[in-house]
């Protein structure tokens, strides 16, 4: 892999004229009933049947959206709850996304210290050594991580990013309302989220690419545009992964503060509004997802152009 994750992300934004990421959060109970029924008829009411339905659902979405979105973001919880078949479906989803030239942001919010964080780093960003051989367990392009344990839990991940040209997104200012209980606590002259943002900036300085972007990104919710604007100044070199758009209530104009003036520096995640769009729009889930994604792409680009923050 010749280029850093941040460079590959920038190239995808520019070539697709899109900053949209689709969250692959396949709640089994919300999958198209015909899809579930087919696999249940074959394998019964089992984890294997559910996992195979999830994989087919994901493949359909990837085929429908690969030219619109810059990345997919599988949320590991929805795969882990299906046991080993679910993890197999996750890995197959990662491989299928890559076959369609999509970047993969694994949403696992992992963190630990010592050999434990090294294990997470090897599993999702690096390789697992077995004697003379090396294997990519879950070959993601990037991983969401929790900063609560401080530098001990982040530096090993950054090292893997530099070695394998990968990226991380650190939870800084999340989109959920109760995040303020910790993230907005006063910490001297700053809030906790600002302190974490400054740490992210420091952690990323050793990995700047030729465009000035870092391997260390940040999760910054669109539901808090004022805080996002502050963090954009604190972390000028970080890519922001922006949740909260769509189903959580953030509008296109709310995401603008997450971008740099070059129209880069952020990608906007949308899951439910796209992947379960067939519930509102009717018809085939792939067609509905494509329509929803095109609308989201158009609305975000319009908001960026109005603020003179569009790179295309």
Listed residue (95, 99, 106) closest to 72, CA to CA: 106
pTM reported for the whole predicted model: 0.96
Q: Do the beta carbons of residue 265 and residue 259 sit within 8 Å?
A: yes
Flag whether 189 is in a domain: no
Domain count, the chain: 1
| CATH, residue 19 | 3.20.20.70
Task: Tell me the pLDDT tens digit for each residue of 224-275.
Answer: 999 999 999 999 999 999 999 987 788 999 999 999 998 999 999 999 999 9
Catalytic position from the list 59, 109, 166, 251: 109
Does the active-site annotation cover 163? no
Flag whether 246 is in a domain: yes
Q: Do the beta carbons of residue 240 and residue 265 sit within 8 Å?
A: yes
Flag whether 311 is in a domain: no
What gap in Å lies between CA 265 and CA 267, rounded to an integer?
7
Task: Tell me the pLDDT tens digit for each residue of 7-28.
Answer: 999 999 999 999 999 999 999 9
In terms of residue numbers, what domain contains 98?
5-169+241-303
Flag whether 98 is in a domain: yes
What gap in Å lies between CA 201 and CA 158, rounded to an integer?
12
- The count of C-alpha atoms lying within 13 angstroms of the C-alpha of 218, restricted to the half-sphere facing its C-beta, is 34
């Amino acid at each position: 892999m010749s280029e850093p994750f941040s460079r590959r992300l920038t190239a995808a934004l520019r070539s697709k004229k899109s900053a949209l990421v689709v969250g692959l959060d396949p709640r089994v109970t919300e999958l198209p009933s015909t899809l579930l029924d087919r696999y249940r008829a074959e394998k019964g009411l089992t984890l294997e049947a559910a996992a195979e339905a999830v994989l087919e659902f994901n493949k359909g979405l990837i085929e429908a959206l690969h030219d619109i979105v810059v990345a997919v973001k599988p949320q590991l919880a929805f795969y882990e709850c299906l046991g080993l078949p679910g993890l197999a479906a996750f890995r197959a989803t990662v491989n299928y996304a890559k076959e369609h030239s999509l970047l993969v942001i694994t949403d696992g919010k992992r963190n630990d210290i010592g050999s434990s964080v090294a294990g997470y780093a090897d599993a999702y960003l690096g390789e697992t050594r077995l004697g003379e051989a090396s294997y990519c367990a879950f070959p993601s392009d990037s991983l969401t991580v929790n900063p609560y344990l401080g530098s001990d839990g982040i530096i090993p991940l950054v090292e893997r990013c530099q070695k394998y040209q990968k990226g991380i997104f650190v939870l800084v200012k999340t989109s959920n309302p109760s995040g303020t209980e910790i993230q907005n606590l006063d910490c001297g002259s700053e809030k906790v989220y600002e302190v974490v943002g400054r740490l992210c900036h420091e952690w990323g300085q050793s990995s700047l690419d030729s465009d000035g972007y870092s391997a260390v990104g940040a999760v910054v919710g669109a539901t808090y545009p004022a805080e996002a604007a502050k963090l954009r100044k604190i972390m000028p070199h970080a890519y922001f992964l922006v949740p909260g758009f769509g189903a959580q209530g953030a509008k296109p104009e709310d995401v603008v503060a997450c971008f740099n003036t070059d129209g880069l520096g952020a990608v906007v995640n949308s899951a439910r509004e796209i992947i379960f769009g067939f519930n509102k729009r009717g018809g085939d889930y792939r067609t509905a997802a494509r329509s929803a994604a095109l609308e989201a792409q158009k609305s975000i680009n319009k908001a960026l152009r109005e603020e003179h923050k569009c790179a295309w």
